[in-house]
């Protein structure tokens, strides 16, 4: 696993991550991109534990996602199976596991204040922290996607699944968008990546 990890996370994070992964019944698999998640954790019926992380993530997002999923494994082992997936036990575990990585040897200086703020109360996904998500995006390869918040009201856009929407009003934390085919109203994360429709 060590050789594989070195291609996905910052070099200075490899050794401490390998220590966290040193469990007999824990496997990490790198998967092709999944649109709905960066990674996941599952306990299988045979008692083994599997963590998956998407291969297309930049090194910093990959590391955050990997530690996020290790925190699920650690919280399960420490507190049992009846805890909430992203409840206080997981939050505490995620904070504790991430703390040693929050330094300039691992993350660029401009990310550290944003990470420190995020980890005061970590969310189920770093994508719900729009500021952090945008900052992490600068380390990714350019693509043809746009963020919903960048679009003018009334602009049509398409999702990865082919559904077409029109941007509406902005609420406090979400943006109203109407699916053109059905007329149904959906609430979008401001930093959801979408494809601009040809006008």
Tens digits of per-residue pLDDT, 12-22?
999 999 999 99
Write out residues in the chain with pLDDT < 70, as ranges: 1-3, 143-144, 199
Tens digits of per-residue pLDDT, 60-100?
999 999 999 999 999 999 999 899 999 999 999 999 999 99
> What is residue 158's predicted lDDT score, i.e. its pLDDT?
93
> What is residue 147's predicted lDDT score, i.e. its pLDDT?
86
pTM of the model: 0.84
Rg (CA), the chain: 18
Q: Phi first, then psi: what are they for 34, rounded to 5°?
A: -115, 130
- Report residue 43 as tokens: 């306990």
| Torsion of Cα atoms, 100 then 103 then 108 then 111, to 10° | 80
Sign of CA dihedral 71, 74, 75, 81: positive
> What is residue 155's predicted lDDT score, i.e. its pLDDT?
95
């Amino acid at each position: 696993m060590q050789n594989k990890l070195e291609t996905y996370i910052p070099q200075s994070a490899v050794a401490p991550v390998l220590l966290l992964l040193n469990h007999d019944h824990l496997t990490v698999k790198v998967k092709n991109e999944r649109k709905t998640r960066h990674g996941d954790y599952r306990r299988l019926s045979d008692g083994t534990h599997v963590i998956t992380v998407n291969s297309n993530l930049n090194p910093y997002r990959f590391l955050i996602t990997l530690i996020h999923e290790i925190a699920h494994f650690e919280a399960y082992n420490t507190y049992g199976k009846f805890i909430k997936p992203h409840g206080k036990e997981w939050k505490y575990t995620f904070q504790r596991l991430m703390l040693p990585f929050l330094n300039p040897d691992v993350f660029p200086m401009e990310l550290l204040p944003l990470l420190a703020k995020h980890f005061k109360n970590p969310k189920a996904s770093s994508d719900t922290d729009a500021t952090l998500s945008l900052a992490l995006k600068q380390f990714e390869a350019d693509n043809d996607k746009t963020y919903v918040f960048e679009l003018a009201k009334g602009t049509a856009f398409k999702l990865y699944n082919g559904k077409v929407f029109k941007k509406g009003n902005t609420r406090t934390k979400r943006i109203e968008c109407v699916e053109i085919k059905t007329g149904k109203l959906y609430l979008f994360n401001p930093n959801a990546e979408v494809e601009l429709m040809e006008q």
